[in-house]
Amino acid sequence: MAVPFEIAVAAELLLPYDIFQPQAEKASISLVSIDDLAERFQASVTATGSRYAAVVSTPLAFVLSEQGKVRYTSRSNPLKDACAWVPPHLDLPDGCFSKKVRAGAGCEVQKRSTRAIWFSDWERGGTVLEETRHLIPWDQTLTLLWFEDGEVPPQRFRDDRDEVHERGDDENDGLLQELDGKLRWPGKRRRR
């Protein structure tokens, strides 16, 4: 999804990378830290949150939702590398804290641990921390998502026996699988 023009302009003019990145990296992961950075750089919380997610080395995402639908997501490079994608125009996912806060569970900053329900086609598991704030006058929800342990969980895959394994944990990665006595033949298509 393309960055909304006003957010891109604000980020480039008000939050120059060379000055903003070191301060963002030192800040704790929270909407309060984004508020502090926004005040320090005299930028909007939305532009600052977007820039914050884009420059930090922690796998996290900043999501702006309007009227209960995702309008824009900014992801850190580690989250992009892991293919963690929050689809645009997605309704706030059932079970997420942002949906509950928008529905009236409060409008203040709150935290809650959830599974990775935000990310499309996510099979890695992991516990995602979600911090959210609902801005009632504009019906906007700001959400900050990051992994509980600060790292993206390893990729999982299924083998022919439907056993789930995690990639990268086995010292034999890249080697042939153990023989199980079952012969697997190639498809019926013939080579030319």
Q: What digits encode the pLDDT tens for the residues 150-166?
A: 777 777 655 555 555 55
Rounded to 5°, the CA angle 156-131-138 comes to 125
| Tally of CB atoms within 10 A around 29 | 17
CB count, 10 Å around CB of 68?
Answer: 14
Q: What is the pTM of this model?
A: 0.73
> What share of the chain has pLDDT > 90, as a percent?
15
Q: Residue 122 pLDDT > 80, yes or no?
A: no
Above 60 in pLDDT, residue 173? Answer: no
Q: How confident is the model at residue 52 (pLDDT cuts 50, 70, 90)?
A: very high
Query: What value does the mean pLDDT take over residues 116-136?
Result: 81
Spatial CB neighbours of 65, under 8 Å, sequence gap ≥ 6: 71, 92, 98, 102, 140, 141, 142, 143
For the chain, give the mean pLDDT: 77
How far apart CA 55 and CA 17 sit, in angstroms, is: 8
The answer to whether residues 15 and 43 touch, using CB atoms and an 8 Å cutoff, is: yes
| pLDDT computed for residue 169 by the predictor | 47
3 state DSSP class of 156: strand
C-alpha 120/C-alpha 58 separation (Å) is 20
Nearest to 101 by CA among 152, 53, 63: 63
- In whole angstroms, what is the distance from residue 16 CA to residue 10 CA? 10
Question: Could you tell me which residue, 51 or 105, shows the higher pLDDT?
Answer: 51
CATH class entry, domain 5-147: alpha beta
Mean pLDDT of the region 83-93: 84
Mean pLDDT, rounded, for 65-90: 87
40: left (phi over 0), alpha (psi -120 to 50) or beta: alpha
pLDDT given at position 95: 79
Predicted confidence band at 103 (pLDDT cuts at 50, 70, 90)? confident
Strands (E), 20-177: 60-66, 69-75, 110-115, 127-135, 140-147, 156-158, 164-166
Note the pLDDT of residue 154: 77
CB 126 within 8 A of CB 113: no
